[in-house]
Structure formats: C-alpha cells, structure tokens
Structure 1
Amino acid sequence: MDAKRKNNKAWFLVLPVVFVVAFTAIIPLMAVANYSLQDIQGADNRIFVGLDFFKRVATDPNIQDAFARNLTLSMQVLLIQIPLGIFLARLMPKSGWKASAALVVVAIPLIIPWNVVGTTWRIFTRSDIGLGGVLVNKFTDYNLSESTFDAWVTILVMDTWHWTPLVTLLVYAGLRSIPQAYYQAAAIDGASAMAVFRFVELPKLKRVLMIALLLRFMDSFMMYTEPFVVTGGGPGSSTQTLSILLTTIAIGQFDIGVAGAFSLMYFLFIQIFSFLFFTVLTLDERPGATKVTPKDKRKLREEKEENQSIRNLRRF
C-alpha cells in the first residue's frame, strides 16, 4: 500500500520565527560564547584562554556571595508569593461584575514597566517625601540607603506587590476550571472549606502551581531593574543580585571575557535548575511512577493469593 505523501509546506510558515530567534538569541549567544573563550585585546589581537574565564567566575567570592543572595531571595519570593497568591485567588468573586473588576484591579501591577515600578518605589520609600518611608519612620527608623535589613525587606515587598498578581491570576484561572460537580459532592459529604481546598482544589491546581513556581523562580533569579533602581545593589553589596554584578563586570569594568563566561554559566544554571525543578514536580505523573501505598500493596497481595487459590482449585 502506498504511503500518503506528506505536505511539509506548512513548515515554511515557521521560517520567519526561526530567523527572528536566530537573530535575537542564537547569534548573540554564539558571540558571548566566543568572548568567554578568548581574551580580545583588539581587533587583531585575540588570545585563546580556554576555560580560564569560567574558572575565575566559579572561584570569585563576589559572584558566590551574589549567587547566595539571589538563591535566598528566590526562595523567600516563592515562600511568600505562592501562598499569598492562592489566598487572594480564593477570596476573589467567582462571577459577575465584581469578578471582572477584581481581575482588572489585580492585573494593574503587571502592566507597569519594571523601571517605572523601581522609580515609584524609590520615591515611595524615601524617608523625607515618600509616603511609605514617612509612615514607617513614625514607628521605627527606616533608611534603605544605610540599613541592609531595610533595603532587603523593601526589595522583597516591592517584588511581592509587583508579581503576586501573576500567581493570583494563574490560580484564579485554575480554580474556575474545576467542575462544579466536585464542590457539589463535597457539600453533600459535609466537607469543610479546608477539606475542599486540600482534597479538591489543591490537587487540581498542581500543574498551575508548577507553572507559577517555575515562572516566579526564573524571574526572581534574573531580577535586575527593580533593585538596581531602588538601591543600586546597596547598601554595600547587600542587594546586589547576579544581574547587577554581571552588568558591573561587563559595562563598568568592561571585562568582556569574564562577563561572557559569567553570562553562559548564569544562563545554564537557570535552565538546568528549572529542568530539575520541573522533573521533580512531575515525577508522580510519569509512566510507572505511580505511588503504591501499603493499602494498595495489601490489596495486590490479597488479589494474588486469591488468583493462586483459583488456579489451585482448577487443577482439581
């Protein structure tokens, strides 16, 4: 039988996307990889250094400290914004004009550009003219230019205000996709609100929460604009993220080789960590990875013994 001829002309529609991605991502990435392997001292003066720049990046104490700060900030962001987003999503109206109004209000921080968010919070937290800074100073001394704790908390609160709405909207969409039959069955059984959340909503939100976790981790680990505008990485280097340090090395010090190696290691870490994160979160959904409880084991053993008894009876 002759196989049907496949028409692959549709792939030509993808070519513009391939060219755009190649121009905006692949070619710059290749240029960065070139800088990371060569010490370019001039147009005609290049020295191949191999992995020397990568070794310098891996052993640089400033980069190690910035990495620890970034990782700490990302973990704090996830621990605060994921539960808060779930809480807000469950409080939002389910239908009607109130639901539409709530969605618009919640989405407002997401449409504000990052540099505008940083500038707004920079003015808002000033201790002389900022509403937030003046208000906080009535209860305690607040100065993010001098206090490491104040600067760190300000960055964390600002990011929470800016990006918790993303988690809220994702969770809200997940909640609205749950069939009403589950809630009706829970009401018939007399389940409490906590039981409904634990046994109905939370399992159905698993994939939504996985997306929220991945997005918030990647974005918080690459944070640059907001802390740079608000604190400039200070006081000292207390809020200096990897992105700010990378910019300082590449533009401030113009050490392109180290910056190139730094960029590649930064990029690869985010990709690998996100892949591992996704793999761990989806382990129980993979074929053959179903968890077997002791009750299931006992049931399987009983069925095996019953089948063996039936086979023995058939022999006689």
Structure 2
Amino acid sequence: MKPNNNRAWFLVLPALVIVTFVGILPLIAITNYSFQDLFSLNNSYWIGVEWYRNIVTSERFYASLGRSFLFSAIVLSIQLPLGIWIALLLQRSHHAVVSAVLVLITVPLVVPWNMIPVIWLNFINPTVGLAGRALAWSGIGFDYKFNALHTWIVLVVMDTWHWLGLVVVLSYAGISSIPAAYYQAAAIDGASQWHVFRFIQLPKMKAVLSMALLLRFMDSFMIYIEAFRINAGGPNGATAFLSLDLGEEIQSFNYGPSAARSIVYFLIVMTVAWTFKAATTAQPSATTEAVR
C-alpha cells in the first residue's frame, strides 16, 4: 500500500503567506486599534468597547445600513433577472452574435472603478453628455445633485452598466453546460419554454447564479468610489452608505472609530456570506428529502 504523501500541501504555503500578510495581520492590527483612542501610533489610550457602543447606538449607523441593504436589493433584483434573460436570448442566437454581445457587455468590467463615475458624470452632463442633452432636449428635468431619487437612479443604472456583464457571462456559462439530452427529453414530453426554464435550466444554473448573487451582493454592499464621486452621499445623506461613513472617518483621521467601524462592517459582510453559504448548502439535502 502506497503511503500518504502530504508534500503537496507545501504548494499552498505561498497563498497562506500572502493571505497572512494581506488579510490576517491587518485584521489583527485594526481589531487592536478599535479598542483604543489613537492620537498617533505611539500615543494611544485603551478605551475598550467605547467606539463600538457609539456605533451600535447611533441612528446614523442604522440609516446607512438600511440604505446599503436597499441598494444591494435593488441592483440584485434588476441585474440577476436581466442577466438571465440576456443569457437565454444568447443561447438561441448565432455563435458570431453571441461572441460580439459577450465582448461588448463585458467591456465595462475592465474599466477602472475610479473612472466609472467620471464616465457617467460626463454622460449625464446636460452640456456635453449624450444622455444629459437628450433629457434636456425632451424637457425632462434631471437633477442628480439635489434630487435623491435621481441620484439613486444614476447609481443603480451605473452599477448595472458596470456589472451586468458578470451576471450574463456566468448565466450563459451555466446554460451552455446543460447537455442536449435534457432538451431532447423535454421536447419528447412536450414541455413548454417556461417548463424547460423552470425544471431544467434554472436548477442547472443554480451554482453559477449562487456565485453571481454572492459576488454582486458583496460588491454592491461595499460600493464607495461610485457613490462618493457622484454625490458624496447626498443630497442630504440620501446615498450615505456604510462605506461612505467609514471613508469619512478615515479622511478625518479618526483612527479608533474608523477601525471599529471597519470591524463592524467586516462582521456584517461575513455574517451575510456565512448565512448565504449555509442556505445554499442546505438546499440540496432539502431537495433530496422532497424527492424521497
């Protein structure tokens, strides 16, 4: 019998070293800072959970948390169905059309994040922007600076333009991996397009859609550059998300409060990710029991 050889684990060491220096050590340092009042790295005072108490008793924190969850819910409710619909259309299209659409729809993914709001601010500019001039010509008043609804519209449309390609690519990959035998069996049974989607395509896409859902939630929940450059959380704090509150603390050199806010932010994201993983892991067993 050949003995077990665990030397392959040494191949993981470079990744472990990188994760340690990039993730674990900074997290330990920030956790330490969150319990102190820092005037400088050499001048700090231990204050315990004071910063955390200030955060969890602040109405502003819960308002920002609600806006962050609301923004994530809106973009997910738009991008996931739209991405699946586009992927279904691509499945029925010619190969050349599919290649062209996938290339065009994924171009925004390679645009640097700090350039996204610049592009859209120019796009909706009533003087030089195509959309801004079209709105002005049609007599539609659009003031994203002082109208909260218009600011939200810009952020949601901009985020959809930026990230829809990711959902489309993942959805199309999931659909393309379905064997032709499934469609042949459905045709023999006389299944409609809705039944094919409901009982064949959607279950087979579950893994990639779960990945898209988690990735898009994480990105949308942590939106900062786009929201800050568009209206800096305005008007009147209508787009002040958790990330903007954290950025404000950091820019004010409030190291202790910003460290505590970072830890709270981290715990929220990790809790949502863990809940999502637990839910998706429990689904197969529940489905198995239902079949039995």
Question: TM tier, shorter chain?
Answer: over 0.9
Corresponding position of 2:255: 256
Deviation at 1:120, TM superposition (A): 0.1
Corresponding position of 2:152: 152
Preserved contact between residue 114 and residue 226 of structure 1 (Cα < 8 Å): yes
Corresponding position of 1:302: none
Corresponding position of 2:212: 212
Deviates more, 1:126-135 or 1:269-278: 126-135
- 1:108 paired to 2:97: no
Corresponding position of 2:80: 82
Take 2:180 and 2:41, find their aligned partners in 1: how far apart are those partners? 67
- 1:130 paired to 2:129: yes
Take 2:188 and 2:97, find their aligned partners in 1: how far apart are those partners? 28
The 5 Å alignment of 1:1-316 reads 4-93=2-91, 96-137=95-136, 138-251=138-251, 253-286=252-285, 290-292=288-290
Q: Partner amino acid for 2:145?
A: S
Take 2:282 and 2:6, find their aligned partners in 1: how far apart are those partners? 35
Deviation at 1:147, TM superposition (A): 0.7
The Cα offsets for residues 69-103 of structure 1, whole Å up to 9 and x where unpaired, read as 00000011111111000001011155532222222
Deviation at 1:264, TM superposition (A): 0.6
Deviation at 1:174, TM superposition (A): 0.2
Deviation at 1:40, TM superposition (A): 1.9
Take 2:204 and 2:41, find their aligned partners in 1: how far apart are those partners? 58
Preserved contact between residue 127 and residue 142 of structure 1 (Cα < 8 Å): no
Deviation at 1:42, TM superposition (A): 3.7
Larger Rg: 1
The Cα offsets for residues 121-177 of structure 1, whole Å up to 9 and x where unpaired, read as 011112232211221232421010111110011100110111111111100000000
The Cα offsets for residues 21-44 of structure 1, whole Å up to 9 and x where unpaired, read as 111111111111111011122454
Take 1:173 and 1:247, find their aligned partners in 2: how far apart are those partners? 37
Take 1:123 and 1:133, find their aligned partners in 2: how far apart are those partners? 8
Q: Partner amino acid for 1:97?
A: A
TM-score by length of 1: 0.86
Take 2:41 and 2:284, find their aligned partners in 1: how far apart are those partners? 53
Percent of pairs with identical residues? 41
Take 1:72 and 1:30, find their aligned partners in 2: how far apart are those partners? 30
Distance 1:58 1:186, change over 3 A: same
Q: Partner amino acid for 2:107?
A: I
Preserved contact between residue 34 and residue 257 of structure 2 (Cα < 8 Å): yes
Preserved contact between residue 85 and residue 171 of structure 1 (Cα < 8 Å): yes
Preserved contact between residue 210 and residue 278 of structure 1 (Cα < 8 Å): no
Take 1:260 and 1:41, find their aligned partners in 2: how far apart are those partners? 13
Take 2:278 and 2:164, find their aligned partners in 1: how far apart are those partners? 24
The Cα offsets for residues 34-72 of structure 1, whole Å up to 9 and x where unpaired, read as 110111224543221111111111112222211110000
Corresponding position of 1:308: none
Specify the SS of the correspondent of 2:39.
strand
Distance 1:42 1:111, change over 3 A: closer
Take 2:164 and 2:114, find their aligned partners in 1: how far apart are those partners? 18
Take 1:201 and 1:231, find their aligned partners in 2: how far apart are those partners? 41
Unaligned runs of 5+ in 2: none
Unaligned runs of 5+ in 1: 297-316
Deviation at 1:5, TM superposition (A): 4.0
TM-score by length of 2: 0.93
Q: Partner amino acid for 2:205?
A: L
Take 2:161 and 2:89, find their aligned partners in 1: how far apart are those partners? 17
Preserved contact between residue 37 and residue 51 of structure 1 (Cα < 8 Å): yes
Q: Partner amino acid for 1:68?
A: G
Take 1:249 and 1:239, find their aligned partners in 2: how far apart are those partners? 16
Take 2:72 and 2:78, find their aligned partners in 1: how far apart are those partners? 10
Preserved contact between residue 126 and residue 133 of structure 2 (Cα < 8 Å): yes
Deviation at 1:263, TM superposition (A): 0.3
Number of aligned positions between the proteins: 290
Preserved contact between residue 284 and residue 291 of structure 1 (Cα < 8 Å): no
Take 2:287 and 2:194, find their aligned partners in 1: how far apart are those partners? 28
